Amino acid sequence: MDESAVNTSNMDGKGGFRAASFVFALVSLENMGFVANMVNLVLYFQIQLYFHVSAAANTVTNLMGSTFLLTIIGAFISDTYINRFKTTLYFGILEIVALVLMTIQARYKDLEPNPCPKSSCLSGGIAIMFYASLALLAMGSGGVRGALPALGADQFNQKDPKESKAIATYFNFLLLSTTLGATIGVTVIVWVANNKHWWPGFLISLLANFVGLVILAFGSRFYRIHLPGDSPLLRVVQVIVVAMKNWRLPVPKDAGQLYELSEKEVLASSKDPRIQHTDQFRWLDKAAIVRNNNAEPTPWTVCTVTQVEEVKVLARMFPIIASTIILNTCMAQLQTFSVTQGYFMDRYIRKFQVPASSIPVIPLIFMSILIPIYEYAFVPFARKYTKHPSGISQLQRVGVGLVLSVVSMAVAGFIEVKRKNHDTKYGKPMSVFWLSFQYGIFGIADMFSLVGLLEFFYKEAPLGMRSLSTSFTWLSLSFGYFLSSIFVDVINSITKRTSHDKRGWLEAQLLDENHLEYFFWFLAILSLLNFFNYLYWASWYKFKKVADQNPSDINDDARVQQQAEESLASGTETSRQALLEAPKVSTNTNDGDENANGKHDNGN
């Protein structure tokens, strides 16, 4: 990027909640169709396309997994080549094209397969059109999710005391926008698809996405647009390559001997604020060793301490990401097997029959009610005791979500036992509202964990990696959905060898002939073990500290947050004292400053 590129991030009249409101609008409208389709597709595949139960569930979870995995593509492009606003628009268009294809295929009977005994009856051109639409949907929706949350968060400057405090509120409202849109989707769109036809449901999703993109485009003059900079992945590769080149060199005991730009050079080159050195992953510090003091440093011969610390931040994030995968595997069951449960239960409210795919409205309603209560009641109350500006830290929020996911899966197993016993004893289905227990508990778990992860990854990430970092939340979702498909296949493969009828727990065509309760309890036990694993990594994690930040310039809430997070990570008074005694180096670097391709001069 040219150093003369204009940074518009702090222009008067731009940013704030006014700009973020356009992001909220797109999030609501896009999720209105996306969530409705994700809960509806499992039945669409079974009823209209003649998939078997497990094949339909696996197809949905693979689609969801691919969608969230592809957020990495959108995040990388928005961090490196085009800004987050344009990335969202371009990928949004791909999502609209996908919905056009799905609408056409659902509209014309000739584009749907005939019944067959196989687990999937798709073949020929019908299969090509089907999988092409799913691929475009995954790419488009994934790209939007990779760039959009960071675009909204960019409207708040972390260096400004008032705006920094608003970032946590922004992520809560982002989730609220998601739940409100999804609530309309799983009621209105699902009802239309189940009671009229599948294709009008896809058409409504298509129109909602189009309107959302138009609204986002109208808000362009209010956005703080952060210009893309050096490739974040290239910076990571440079550190690893240089560290490997210097693998024989000893790491200096004094971190001051490692290469770093001076404060003046940082300001002159518009680079990100310097990050303080940490002792974790010491072998990476070899990348910051200057081998020849007379030679001019280049990115492939020596890296700055800040660049090395960026890689360390990413490395420290990976165990946190891995610890939330099982949580999202549990979520996948509520969008697949629990929807199938609801299809075989009593769904009547007097004379009105609730569509099975509308059952996930239960956690969405819970979340839509609880998010404002959390923001305006719980956070101020908890803040009095924890002295944390967000009430509790991001990692603590994730921990609460993990505990509740254990409870949700355990309850789901008992509800499935009760459902089957009720059918046998009374000869009629049990009320679908018994599923509200597992859905409601997991809805609260999702409220804590999703917002906690998004805020955690955004705040911890270097400026040039924020889209990439926030996409880690979706990466965890992706692996969770893929793992669900793997679990289904592996468990069926193992259990059919030990069962009397030589059939796996989840292999039967009819739900009552399966042992779904065992699968739920298996996930509950696994989630409990995973929670203890998470506790270890959350206590091991060391939070990023900006070297160029003057402690006297940090507002009280921000200082308390840093102290609380350091306390969670290390559990010692030493880390908190070190933060307050950090060297006072003044800086005028703005939060919106972007990377520039400048010369790497030695600032020592």
| Secondary structure string (H, E, C) spanning 351-396 | CEECCHHHCCHHHHHHHHHHHHHHHHHHHHHHHHHHCCCCCCCHHH
Residue carrying the six token digits 């009621």: 187
Q: Which residues share a beta bridge with 352?
A: 349
- Most confidently modeled range among 160-169, 185-194, 404-413, 438-447: 404-413
**Report field, pTM of the whole predicted structure over 0.85:** no
Check if the beta carbon of residue 4 is closer than 8 Å to that of residue 227: no
How many helical (H) and strand (E) elements, i.e. helices and strands, does the chain have?
21, 2
Give the model's pLDDT for residue 15: 83
Query: Which tops the pLDDT comparison, 551 or 464?
Result: 464
Lookup: tokens for 22:
């356009």
Q: How confident is the model at residue 589 (pLDDT cuts 50, 70, 90)?
A: very low
Which two structure tokens, joined as six digits, stand for 196? 């009229």
Phi, psi of 410 (to 5 degrees): -65, -45
Q: Is the pLDDT of residue 264 over 50?
A: yes
pLDDT of residue 231 exceeding 80: no
DSSP conformation class of 604: -
Spatial CA neighbour of 39 closest among 329, 450, 336: 336
CA 505 – CA 342 distance, rounded (Å): 19
Q: In the structure, what pLDDT confidence band is assigned to residue 595 with cuts at 50, 70 and 90?
A: very low
Least confident range from 125-139, 185-199, 414-428, 491-505: namely 491-505
Residue-wise pLDDT tens digits, 331-389:
888 877 887 888 888 888 877 888 777 887 888 888 888 889 888 888 888 888 887 77
pLDDT bracket for residue 117 (50, 70, 90): low
Residue with tokens 């004292």: 577
Report the pLDDT value the prediction gives residue 42, as an integer from 0 to 100. Answer: 82
Q: Which residues have a Cβ under 8 Å from the Cβ of 119 and sit 6 or more positions away? A: 51, 52, 54, 55
* pLDDT at 140 (0 to 100): 94
Residues 426-446: tens digit of each pLDDT: 878 888 888 888 888 998 898
The 10s digit of each residue's pLDDT in 491-512 is: 888 888 777 666 778 877 677 7
Is 400 a residue whose pLDDT tops 90?
yes
Angle between helix axes 556-570 and 394-426 (nearest 10 degrees) is: 70
Find all residues with CB under 8 Å of 502, minimum gap 6, and list them. Answer: 496
The predicted pLDDT at position 12 comes to 58
Greatest C-alpha distance within the chain: 87
Q: What is the pLDDT of residues 2-45, one digit of tens each?
A: 333 334 344 456 888 899 999 999 999 999 999 888 878 888 88
Q: Could you tell me the pLDDT band of residue 266, with boundaries at 50, 70 and 90?
A: low
Length of the chain: 604
Q: What pLDDT score was predicted for residue 272?
A: 65
Tell me how far apart the alpha carbons of residues 362 and 367 are, in angstroms, rounded to a whole number: 9
Q: Is the per-residue pLDDT at 397 higher than 70?
A: yes
Determine the pLDDT at residue 120.
67
Structural domains present in the chain: 16-228+313-540 (1.20.1250.20), 232-310+543-580 (no CATH)
Q: What pLDDT sits at residue 268? A: 54
Confidence tier at 398 by pLDDT (50, 70, 90): very high
> Average per-residue pLDDT in the chain?
80
DSSP 553: G
- Closest by Cα among 363, 336, 473, 481 to 38: 336
In angstroms, rounded to a whole number, what is the distance separating the alpha carbons of residues 393 and 127? 47
CA gap 227, 33 in Å, rounded: 30
226 vs 552: which has the higher pLDDT: 226
Centre a 10 Å sphere on the Cβ of residue 414 and count the other Cβ atoms it contains.
15
Residue whose entry in the numeric block shows the structure tokens 């003044």: 586
In this model, does residue 599 exceed pLDDT 50?
no
Q: How many C-beta neighbours within 10 Å does residue 188 have?
A: 15
Give the model confidence (pLDDT) of 542-578 as tens digits. Answer: 887 766 554 434 444 444 444 444 444 444 333 333 3
pLDDT of residue 81: 86
Indicate if the pLDDT at residue 587 is higher than 70.
no
Tell me the C-alpha distance between 66 and 29, whole Å: 21
Residue 97 has pLDDT above 70, yes or no: yes
Q: CA–CA distance from 229 to each of 15, 77, 226, 463 (Å)?
A: 20, 10, 9, 10
